[in-house]
Amino acid sequence: MSGVTSGTPAHCPLLVGRTRGKNRAASFVLDTSILATLLAASSAPTPLYPLYQEQCSLSALAVTVVFARTHWRCCGLCLPPERSPTTWAGAPSWRAPSSRRPPPWSSFLASADSAGSLTAARLLQGVATGAATSAAGAALLDLENPRHPGRSALANTIAPVAGMAAGVLLSILLVRFAPAPTVTVYVLLAVLFAAQAIAVVFTTETAHRHTGALRSLRPHLGIPPGARRTLLSTGTAVVAVWALGGFYSSLGPALVRLVAPGAPQAARGMVFFPLSATAALTVWALRRAEPLATATGGCLTVLPAAALTLSGLHGAGLPAVYGGAALAGAAFGAVSQGVLRLLLAPLDEWDRAATLVAYYVLSYLSMSLPAVAAGAATQRYGLGATSHAYAAIAALLAAAALTALAVSRRRTATARPATDHLR
């Protein structure tokens, strides 16, 4: 991955369109709600997977591929535009994206009734989610209020997990009480997206429109120099917790069925809810904690989460599976909160947006690719053996992340006395 030049020029076009006052607050709330709704739409199919498997005779591999399609396209569509030197208002500058507004077509949703059409629908949903997630996340960074530093990073962390929890809960309620839940859930989400798309039209743009913006929209993934070391030291932790999230979101219902074959439909779909709900609560509870300690605590929590989940396969039953999911959610929230704050806090406005996108790409790949590998392994070795291997790998990743975070903490502690001496 190639880097991008850091440093914000004296006349940065991104700063021209800043919104202020009530309009900025309204835009902040809208962009946060868009992030939450996008992830709600991505998690809503989890309780529906058992229905799809029965109706379409889907295998475990097919379910994970359908699940992963959204996140693969998210990775492609959330890449930031390439920045290249240009001239703006007589001074050197950088080309900015032509808009931070989530595109109106991001409200596209589709329902499907076969493996092929399910995959296509999730692929199209991934296109919409990738484009809108990157735009909304960057807009939240643009709308940072100097009086409340860190609020944008908090919104970028808590909105996705809160949205995932809400999407799962909505879908479970519809499966239980609504007719045709595989259609109703998407109709309701489409109505919400339509309302948000209309509201976006009336918000103030946070990126300045200027010549060359269309050409600058060519996807270009880069990690700013100021974030590279931090991302290297925390990347393994991100992979570990997002991979756990991908397992519960795609194969969680099948795991519940394996542990408790007589469990009702709602119990299977509900397994991802404790993970996402606990993650949201953890992000909020640790919003003022020291970020490196928060990320370290999250990695430590992966180990009992994996062990508790596996104990469900050895007689502990559904309480252990749900408890493991809740602990995995605590790990997810702590690592996400800590890592994002570590990454974004020392950067300027340009580099924050690029770093956020790099974080999203790493997260989506970590959630989808291991899940597909688990689906393939389930076909060959069975879900029980695959669950053991998956948990062991997640634990090893968490242990490696703990080592990297310890080195980072030691480096920071060593550098601090030198800095104090210079002062």
Give the pLDDT score at 7: 36
Mean pLDDT of 205-223: 59
Give the pLDDT score at 248: 92
Where are the alpha helices (H) located in 2-59, listed in sequence order?
A: 13-16, 21-43, 49-56
Nearest one of 409, 352, 379, 380 to 156, comparing CA atoms: 352
Which residue in the block uniquely carries the two structure tokens 């393939």?
Answer: 376
| In the chain, % of residues over pLDDT 70 | 71
pTM over 0.85: no
3-state SS assignment for residue 81: strand
Task: Judge contact between 153 and 359, C-beta under 8 A.
Answer: no
Give the pLDDT score at 9: 36
Task: Judge contact between 324 and 308, C-beta under 8 A.
Answer: yes
pLDDT higher than threshold 80 for residue 330: yes
Reported as a pLDDT band with limits 50, 70 and 90, residue 396 is very high
Those residues whose C-beta lies under 8 Å from the C-beta of residue 19, and which sit 6 or more positions away, are: 27, 143, 203, 204, 206
Nearest one of 89, 125, 108, 98 to 10, comparing CA atoms: 89
Model confidence over 29-62: pLDDT tens digits?
998 999 899 889 888 888 887 777 777 666 777 7
Q: Which of 28-37, 129-138, 327-336 has the lowest mean pLDDT?
A: 129-138
Mean pLDDT of 93-111: 44
Model confidence over 337-348: pLDDT tens digits?
999 999 988 887
Q: 280-312 burial by CB neighbour count: b if 16+ within 10 A, else e?
A: bbbbeebbeeebbebbbbbbbbbbbbbebbbbb
